[in-house]
Amino acid sequence: MSVSDLATHPLTNWQGPLGLPDFTKIGDGDFGSVFDAALKAHEAEIEAITASAEQASIENTLQALELAGEALDRVSSIFWCRAGAHTNDAIQALEREVAPKMSRHFSAISMNEKLFARIDDLYQKRDSLKLDSETLRVLERTWKGFVRSGARLDADGKKRLASINEQLSSLGTTFGQNVLADEREWALFLDGGDLAGLPDFLKSAMAEAAETRGQKGRYAVTLSRSIYEPFTTFSERRDLREAAWRAFTQRGQNGGASDNTAVVRDMLKLRAEKAKLLGYASFAALKLDDTMAKTPKAVHDLLDPVWEKALEKAAADQKELERLATAAGSNEQFAAWDWRFYQEKLRAEKFAFDEAELKPYLQLDHVIAACFDVAMRLFGLTFEEKKGIAGWHPDTRVFAVKNADGSDRALFLADYFARSSKRSGAWMSALQSGYSLGKGSKPIIYNIMNFAKPPVGEAALLSVDEAKTLFHEFGHALHGTLTDVTWPSVSGTSVSRDFVELPSQLYEHWLTVPAVLEKHALHVKTGKPMPKELLDKMLAARTFGAGFATVEFTASALVDMAYHARPDAPAEPLAFETETLEKLAMPDTIAMRHRTPHFSHVFAGDGYSAGYYSYMWSEVLDADAFSAFEETGDPFNPALAKKLRENIYAAGGSKDPEELYTAFRGKMPTADAMMAKRGLV
Ligand SMILES: [Zn+2]
């Protein structure tokens, strides 16, 4: 396959309906050769920029660089979509090949001396170029990106950095695949007599899981969060809860080929070396340089007081749970696999209802409609489902997104159900991002979920957490959808990590706005809205269990920071994990939300390394931002919605996050609203 074939290949020339790729014409065998040709095409475009005899200008250098690599973007976006949402052995094998190739390719660009010389030329005279603020910011970020990628290192330094990046990239892939292997490998098969306490939705999800694993008629506990969490919440069988808890917390640490211990050790060593090479005190210092927080100290200033409050709250909660366990006749020492179970009992007692009562009111299709409705009321968007268009899997749904005036804004694709070819979790990504530079590009955004698929003919029902997840990922999708920027590199979610969760976490707030629930939370059988009292109980219960949730999250964030804020790497990461938790006085009755050997945010790639804190950072922002609406007494206040759209959802990374937030809110936030929202103060 040659570069010229890219112009007609279905992976790079998208001829499907509505400007989508034609997924029916894409074969798994095509990716490898198209990748190779697209890499070559991108190289040639870069070569053309650097070979220019003209003096560097914004058009011939910055703009040419931003618009280069379209074919590569296209094949990559489809490939990574498949790798996450619908993989197979061929895709996985190719992933191991492609990841280091891409890393080499982009390292070479960021270490291209001629290219950097042209960018540097523009950067040095930036004040005299009379640039608009977005272009200036793109130039500055591009320049900084080169420098952080080693553009100013000597030849040996550059070579070493390239090798480190390549190793890190392939270790990251291995890490993720190992976690997936352990999740696939393990299942606890149960029979009808083992199901005491389990609600119906869970039993049918477990029956389905057993059937897909070839054990029709039985029930499987799997390590998918959508089964594991309700199982340990509801199962009356302490022995089974313990078995599931142990398997879940041991993922990636089971010895053999899928064990991640050595992978983590190597990654931490390489990250520390990389930071040193680039002149940073630690890997955390390197990563945070480009964020809203900016330093590890700022992260600790946020997390440490939260941690203290969370520990106090969790200790008080545990006493109450222990009393409950004793009263229920347990004479065992209260353990980590008891927490969710007794917490659910306490919730039922205190709020006189259990989570499962809410599920019949949270039908997947209605929660999706609620997401769309909120986007309509805040931003005037409409969503129309287009049936019969092929996606990457038959479960993929396609929606055309229109502006208030009826003009086209974007495409939104969604793939809601769990299957064994999909990695766990929920996420948003883009097949194509939105910008106006050059001939411009319309956003094609997608959401992936892992909800348990209902039996044919039945409606999928969600837990409150799952409904929140749907709103969360949809908030990210809106960030991609509403983007209104010129430059591709600052489009949509291309913002710092500690800002990127603001649009998503903020959006979750609208799920529990009474007007939204009253309209969309309708009982699956009776069609009646969720009763007001159930609604009030749910709202009151929202802060319930905050001690547990904050401890499990913050412990993960603090361990992530401990690994990366030191100048060197620990010789034995798992021992260091234990040591760090001891220093923090971590209760042994709560596990980290993500232990090191399966902490994919931090080790399956580089996305959230030294950055897991940023979910909480964003929560500080979202709590504060939503209180702006509450202060007006109108959750859809039009004037505020307009400011929100302009400064947060549409602005991408076109300005400094601090500036954007202040423009929306009029001031910077503190952690107070977040701690109050969590019920920690
Ligand atoms: Zn998110």
Dihedral over alpha carbons 293, 296, 301, 306 (to 10 degrees): 90
The pLDDT of residue 266: 98
| pLDDT the model gives residue 292 | 87
Q: Which residues pair with 401 in a beta bridge?
A: 383, 410
pLDDT at 124: 97
pLDDT in tens, 510-547: 998 989 999 999 999 999 998 878 877 777 777 788 99
Question: How many whole angstroms from 469 Cα to the centroid of ligand 1?
Answer: 9
pTM of the model: 0.81
Query: From the CA of 350, how far away is ligand 1's center (Å)?
Result: 31
DSSP 130: T
The answer to whether residues 78 and 86 touch, using CB atoms and an 8 Å cutoff, is no
Q: Tell me, what's the pLDDT at 533?
A: 80
| Ligand 1 midpoint to CA 501 (Å) | 5
Strand pairing class (382-385; 219-221): unpaired
Does the annotation count 473 as an active-site position?
Answer: yes
The predicted pLDDT at position 500 comes to 93
| Residue 497 pLDDT | 84
Q: pLDDT at position 260, please?
A: 98
Query: What's the CA-to-centroid distance between 482 and ligand 1, angstroms?
Result: 17
pLDDT, position 289: 87
Tell me, in angstroms, the distance from the centre of ligand 1 to residue 290's CA: 19
pLDDT for the residue 319: 96
- Annotated catalytic residue within 166, 183, 466, 473: 473
Nearest to 626 by CA among 495, 471, 481, 491: 471
CB 359 within 8 A of CB 461: yes
Give me the pLDDT at residue 103, please: 85
Burial label for 16, CB within 10 Å (0-12, 13-18, 19+), is middle
pLDDT digits (tens, 9 = 90+) for 226-251: 899 999 999 999 999 999 999 999 99
Return the pLDDT at 543.
79
**Average pLDDT across the chain, whole number:** 94
Q: For the chain, list residues with pLDDT below 50.
A: none
Output the CA 504–ligand 1 centroid distance in Å. 6
pLDDT for res 269: 98
- Ion ligand 1, residue ranges at CB < 5 A: 501, 504
Whole-number pLDDT of residue 242? 98
Query: Helix/strand/coil (H, E, C) string of 245-263?
Result: HHHHHCCCCCCCCCCCHHH
